[in-house]
């Protein structure tokens, strides 16, 4: 009889841990990708529109 018994339970835990790790990595990749896309599109632009600034200055 082997000293270290490989039980079904260990395989399940390993599978779950690897799966969760991959899911977390994929999530990091998704957030990174979304950030790049939204930054390029200007979704996070906090500056007021140039035309509005000029209007404000002239008024």
Partner 1 sequence: MSDTSVNNTSKAAQVQIGQVQIGHGDAGFSDFYALLKPRVMSLVVFTALVGLLAAPQPVHPFVAFVAILFIALGGGASGALNMWWDADIDRIMKRTQKRPIPAGRVTEGEALGFGAFLSVFSVVMLGLAANWVAAGILAFTIFFYVVVYTMWLKRTTPQNIVIGGAAGAFPPMIGWAVATGGISIESVLMFCLTFMWTPPHFWALALFMKSDYHEAKVPMLTVTHGRKSTRLHILVYTLLLAPVAIGISFTSIGGPVYLAVSLIFNALFVKGAWDIWRRDEAQAEADGYRTEKKVFGLSLLYLFAQFGAILVESTLRIYGMGGW
Eight-state DSSP code of residue 7: -
Smaller CB separation from partner 1, 4 or 41: 41
Distance CA 48, CA 4 (A): 66
Smaller CB separation from partner 1, 29 or 55: 29
CB of 50 to partner 1, least distance (A): 24
Smaller CB separation from partner 1, 26 or 55: 26
Contact 32, 26 (CB under 8 A): no
Main-chain phi, psi angles of 12, to 5 degrees? -65, -45
**Which 1-59 residues touch partner 1, going by CB under 8 A?**
7-9, 11-13, 15-16, 18-20, 30, 33-34, 37, 41
């Amino acid at each position: 009889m082997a000293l270290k018994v490989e039980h079904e339970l260990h395989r399940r835990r390993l599978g779950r841990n690897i799966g969760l790790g991959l899911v977390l990595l994929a999530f990091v990749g998704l957030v990174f990708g979304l950030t790049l896309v939204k930054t390029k599109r200007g979704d996070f632009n906090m500056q007021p529109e140039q035309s509005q600034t000029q209007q404000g200055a002239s008024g």
